[in-house]
Structures are given as C-alpha cells and as structure tokens.
Chains A and B, each alone.
Chain A
Amino acid sequence: MSSKEWPLWEVFIRSKQGLSHKHVGSLRAADAQMAIDNARDVYTRRSEGISIWVIESKQVTASDPDESAEFFEPSESKIYRHPTFYNVPDGISHM
C-alpha cells in the first residue's frame, strides 16, 4: 500500500446561469479530471450546480494574515467608497 496522498484541489461551483462560481470547499484527487469527477460526486449531489471549476490548492496565493492590519483596516474608515448614494431600481437583483 502506498501512503502517498493525492494533491488537494479547491472546488468552485456555479449554482445557476448568471451567477459566478463560488468556492465551496476542497477535496483530494490524483489529477484535474478526477478532481472534477469527485467534485461532482461530493458537492453537487443535491443539485447545487451547473458548472464546476477546480484548481490545485498549491496554485492559490493567499494574503498573509500577519499583514491584515495594513491590508484591510485602512479601508474601514472610508465609508465614502461605498456607492450608497445611488438608488437601485426595483428588479435589479444580485447587487
């Protein structure tokens, strides 16, 4: 028995037309095709999606949690950056 583990993949599912793919979780698979198949079995068994993306987790570059103060806090005080002065017409969803 080999004890080598398959690489980890991040899974993104689009739940319906017009929406973007959303990160739903991760899984292990030997290659991209198996990752797609596994994602289908693990994450869409209750009709959650119509399209799947996978990407090997090691390809993801993440921001450094130690830098979160300089990264994210400065924007907290800049409420004028939120477009709250516009009225969104009725019938526009996903805003």
Chain B
Amino acid sequence: MTTQEAFYSYIVRLGDDSLILGQRLSEWCGHGPVLEEDIALTNIALDLIGQTNNLYELAVSIENKGKNIDQLAFLRLEKEYENLLLVEQLNVDFGYTIVRQFFFDVYRKLVFEALCNSSDERLAGIAEKSLKETKYHLKHSSEWVIRLGDGTEESHRRVQEAVNTLWKFTDELFFQDEVDQNVIELGLGVDNSNFKVTWDSHVEHVLTEATLTIPSNSWQHAGGRKGIHTEHFGYLLSEMQYMQRAYPNMEW
C-alpha cells in the first residue's frame, strides 16, 4: 500500500462516517419529536453532509483520477463503503438516535482535535472547521442523554436500552489497520488509541450523570472498516443512491 493509497482510504473513511450518519439523521426530517428538535437533527445532518463534501473533495484530489465526489457518495457498492458500523444503525427512536450520536460525537471531537495538527494542511483546515460543528453536536447530544436518562421512567428505560444495544459498536471506533499505521507514521492522520481512555472517561462521566449504566457485556462487533456491514446498510444505500442511479450524472 502506497502512502497515497493509505491517505486516500483514510480520508474516504472519515467522509463515509459523516455521510452515512448524515443520511440516517436526515430520515428524521419531518418526523422529529417536536418542531425544534426536527430542525436541530436536520441541522446536524447537514453539517455532516457538508463535512463529507469537503473530505471527499480532498480524497478525489489525492487520488487524482478525475473522479467526482458524487461517484464516491452515490455509486460505490456496499463493500466499498468503510464507515463505522455504529453510524449505520437504525434510528429506532429518539433515544437510540441520541445515544448513537453521543458515542460518535465524543469520538469525532477527539479525532478532529488531533487532526487540526495533521501534516496535511488541507486536512487540518477541514478538521478545524468541522471541530466547531462537532462541539455543538456533542453539547446537543450530551444534554439530551442526560435529560432522557435522568428524565421519566419511560425515557430512562428507552435510552438505557439504546446504550445496551449500541455499546457493542463502540470498540470499533478505535479500530486500526495498515491504513491507519501508514498515515500515523507520516503525521497525516491520528493515532486513535491515544484517546481511548479520554473517550471512556468522557462517556462514563455523562452516562453516570444521566443515571445510566454501561453494559458489562463485553462482546464487540466490527467489520465496517473492512466493508462488512450490518443488515440495515443495504436498505440505506438503496434509498441514498436511488437518484444518482436512476438519473446517472444528474446534478442539482
């Protein structure tokens, strides 16, 4: 694997995480629990799609084969997406959506903070811009985790169930393979093992305040970074890719 290939894959993975979570969140559009939250969730979805846009633009310029970013977003096959399994999980209800977002936001803030020091200036620039957005996402999701966990009996039960179900996708946040090794060596990407402890303690702190418990079940799911997805992913792709496949090269 050349450095160029590794850096390309690294950026595409970052973009895939944003794209798939953005797509999931956008499913809330018009279905939010209250009008204000409907707008909040779709704002976050738009931030994520915007990050995807910047990351894919960087990826295609690294690859330098004349691809456009719509091809990356809409014309790859299932196995060619290498997002975290966490972000493709179903919305289920508002509690699940918030817990998924919270786990991701804590991680993503740490990633962007570190990427602000990337040896690639373009990536550092994207990280700096995205970090501001992510800080707000984290504030939003943290406040909701606490409200729901420490709220009514029903909200506590639902959000605890979400924590129990989604916990098995959290180890994958710290997955590493040769793509990561390559970019870490050159200071292009981040060594996510450096902030595993920070992630753990941040999540534990908020969950404790929310009177929620971390499941003791230690079995963990992985595969997203190798293109092996959970069953929900195909349905997400068919909806997301429909326009570009039905009307090839369409623009708007």
Q: Tally A-B pairs: CB < 8 A.
A: 29
Please name all residues of chain A whose beta carbon is closer than 8 Å to the beta carbon of B152 when the two chains form the complex.
Answer: 2
- Contact in complex: B143, A34 (CB < 8 Å): yes
The answer on a CB contact under 8 Å between B39 and A29 is: no
Name the segment of A36-44, A64-72, A87-95 touching the other chain: A36-44
**A41 is contacted by which of B39, B143, B147 (Cβ under 8 Å)?**
B39
182-200 of chain B: CB within 8 A of chain A: none
Assuming the contacts A2-B152, A30-B147, A33-B143, asked whether A41 and B34 have C-beta atoms less than 8 A apart, the reply is no
**A35 (CB) vs chain B CBs: closest residue:** B36
B39 touches A37 (CB 8 A): no
Distance between Cα atoms of A37 and B36 in the complex (Å): 9
Contact A38 B147 (CB under 8 A): no
Could you tell me the distance between the alpha carbons of A21 and B35 in the complex, rounded to whole angstroms?
A: 24
Report if A6 contacts B (CB, 8 A): yes
User: Could you say which residues of chain A place their CB within 8 Å of the CB of B36?
Assistant: 27-29, 38, 41-42
> Can you list 5 A-B contacts (CB < 8 A)?
A28-B35, A28-B36, A42-B35, A45-B39, A45-B43
| Chain B residues close to A by CB (< 8 Å) | 34-37, 39-40, 43, 136, 139-140, 143, 147, 152
With A27-B36, A42-B39 known, 19 other A-B pairs at CB within 8 A are A6-B34, A27-B35, A28-B34, A28-B35, A28-B36, A30-B147, A37-B139, A37-B143, A38-B36, A38-B37, A38-B40, A40-B136, A41-B36, A41-B39, A41-B40, A41-B43, A42-B35, A45-B39, A45-B43
CB distance from B33 to the nearest CB of A (A): 10
A45 to B, closest residue via Cβ: B43
Q: Inside 8 A of A41's CB, which chain B residues have their CB?
A: 36, 39-40, 43
Chain A residue numbers with a CB within 8 Å of B35 are 27-28, 42
Nearest CB of chain B from residue A60's CB, rounded to whole Å: 19
A23 vs B40: C-alpha distance in the bound complex, in angstroms?
A: 21
Q: In this complex, what residue of A is CB-closest to B44?
A: A41
Measured in the bound complex, the distance between the Cα atoms of B143 and A42 in whole Å is 17
Q: Report chain B residues within 8 Å CB of A45.
A: 39, 43
Chain A residues whose C-beta falls within 8 Å of the C-beta of B143 in the assembled complex: 33-34, 37
State how many angstroms separate the Cβ of B235 from the closest Cβ of chain A. Answer: 27
Tell me, rounded to whole Å, the shortest Cβ–Cβ distance linking A90 to chain B. Answer: 39
Residues of B within 8 A of A42 (CB): 35-36, 39
